[in-house]
Amino acid sequence: MKLRISIIITLLTVVIFGFKLKNEKFNDPDKEKVLLEIVKYVVERGHYSSIELDDDLSLKIFDDFINKLDPQKRFFSLNDIKELGRYKYKIDDQIKAYDLEFFEEIHKVYRSRIADAKIFVDKIFDNNFDFTDNEYMDLDSDSIPFSSNKNQLYERWRKQIKYSILDIITQKNSSDAIDDNQIKIDAISTAKKNTSDFFNYANEIDRDDWFSVFLNSFVGQFDPHTFYFKPDDKEKFDVSISGSFDGIGARLSREDGNVKIVDVIIGGPVWKGKLLDVGDVILAVGQEDQEPISIFGMKLDESIKLIKGPAGTIVTLTVKKIDGQIKDVKIKRDEVELEETFAKSTLISKNSKNYGYISLPKFYADFDNYKNRNSANDVKNEIIKLKNNGIKGLILDLRNNGGGSLQTVVEMTGLFIEKGPVVQVKSIGNRKKILYDRDAQVYWNGPLVVLINEMSASASEIISAALQDYNRAIIIGSEKSFGKGTVQNIVDLNRFISNSDYDMGAIKVTTDIFYRINGESVQLEGVESDIVIPDSYMYLFNGERDEKNPLKWDKIGPATYTKWNKYDDKFKYATDQMNKKLNQNNIINDIYERANWIKSQQNISNIPLNLVKYKKYQKDQKIKASQFDKISSYENQLSFNFLKTEKTFIKANKELFEARLKWHKNLSKDIFIDQAVNTLDLIDSSIKTNYILAENKTE
């Protein structure tokens, strides 16, 4: 697959290398035209499926871009949409000609409408709010039309703000009393600040940001997972997929023009040196041997660029401490690992037996240096540590794991099976390839449960499907997984431009579809659980099937593989027993009932803006929600313990120790883990029963 992408890139480079921008300073439209040409060429030549750039596509781009800019219909008027409508069937022609007229026009109108809305909002807060009016707000933005005049737009903003104020009042005073004037004053003040922050943020969004939205309205028509990354977003994506970055190890936010520390990352330079505290405000940033630069009022992303830097370099931060003193803090930047991204394990005890649990939030890897930390190696190491603690079974938790590196998922599947196929891949031109585990070593050959939910996607579905097809694991979770059966590759757009001072970003483009080793695709259909545990939000989300333009489901011939027969009868016995027990489980039935109630709430769109009625509405909601309190108060009665090799290290680090204890507390409320352990317990019991019977027969 890497070779195929390299060939595509080489061909594209030959064609597009005519763009030479050596040290040229060119304005945004010039850069955008070049960027549009490169993006168009990459998706047309490199995407798995082809689409016609015609009037039908033009209309889809138009509607999508409008919706991305104004999803709640609070900026554009009906007249704006009519005026811009002259471009509905011209965008395809303009993209072919690299003409930016539509983008220029809509960008100009949108900026103007943001300024108009700010005037509306200032006027709204200048007037008094009447909380006795019997009026309602429609929350279904999809069904409401664009406003036909400025008065309607003003009313839409007024109702939105009033709704926000009512929500704040109710949070601060849930009693039936409505005459607490100070609460109303405070709520209005909070809503005004929040709205002001919104407009400050909107005014800071650059033209490049809006243009990337336009590009994604275009490339997103190929499929939901083809996506253009502007340079900053590409860097964030790299951090999310690798789980590490170079910096100081702190999370920042902007408040009233100031950059504030909101979290200190365990293991980072700030944490190791105890240099900063949550709540500290960074006033200025100085690089080595340079004068500090004030960052007050600076965009947060720009401030972060100054603070981050290569490992080993020094940055000096002028900081206002929580107690008010101002001091300079020198920090040596280093590689910061985001521990919440990485695999971690714990020991679960039940009935004097130990079971292993591994949480894997994503399939991470450093593509610049694959031998660096990756999820396959980390899971292998966790398995080894758990085996040394004498586990009887293993749980691999892939819930909410949206995928990641294809190479790591193939290697990780190999930890549980002998040599054999893991996944089939089909590329452009119907070219098929089977990816194999070629390492005969099995790191865990005992009973295995994999946890999934409707947010388990892509790589999570590859390993779940493979282990299910091999009959190597029992899949427990939502009715089915997300249903993303496509593979994406990242293409760096800068390689198509010679000697440019400009970073063009990158594009994630869908290049392949993957199939189970039994020949079926998981596209749209997902991986079905062997044991289904409901989720309270199960009826609100259908994964890939909810996307506007997903690729279709199909199937190919199966690969040649041999099923794992060690636990055939045990898995079937445990699955049958668990499904019977879950049908009679009161908590499970309560979850189904709450899921139906939450689904019914989606049909409620008209919200009262009268304070008495709004409080009654909220009170009724709380009363109904309280009927399901036993779900949130559920505890699984399992014991979660540190592994022998980790215990001393974790207890010696206060923040890490507290973080792990909090994690264990959350796990103790998890019904999925409870049922996974019950399943493993049944398998272990059936193994012992078979052993005793066999022993008696021998005698």
From the list 118, 484, 570, 615, the catalytic residue is 484
**Alpha-carbon span 512 to 615, nearest angstrom:** 52
Which candidate, 443, 343, 340, places its Cα nearest to that of 384? Answer: 443
Residues facing residue 163 across a β-bridge: none
* H or E, element range at 581: helix 568-583
Judge whether 458 counts as a catalytic residue: yes
Which entry of 458, 460, 481, 529 is annotated as an active-site residue?
458
CA distances, 66 to each of 43, 61, 126, 253, 291 (Å): 22, 8, 30, 29, 44
Q: Closest Cα partner for 605 from 145, 147, 136?
A: 136
Q: Which token pair is 208? A: 């490049």
- Residues 252, 262 contacting (CB under 8 angstroms): yes
Exposure of 506 in the CB half-sphere (CA atoms within 13 A): 16
Please tell me what DSSP assigns to residue 403: -
CA angle 557, 489, 520 (to 5 degrees): 20
Q: What are phi and psi of 674, to 5 degrees?
A: -55, -50
Answer whether 517's CB lies under 8 Å from 501's CB.
Answer: no
Nearest to 117 by CA among 92, 152, 148: 152
**Torsions phi, psi of 252, nearest 5?**
-125, 155
**255 phi and psi, to 5 degrees?**
-145, 120
Residue 402's alpha-carbon distances to 154, 383, 467, in angstroms, are 40, 22, 18
**Ramachandran category for residue 404: left, alpha or beta (phi over 0 → left; psi -120 to 50 → alpha):** left
In the block, residue with structure tokens 């005026």: 83
> Out of 92, 469, 590, 684, which one is annotated catalytic?
469
Catalytic residues: 458, 469, 484
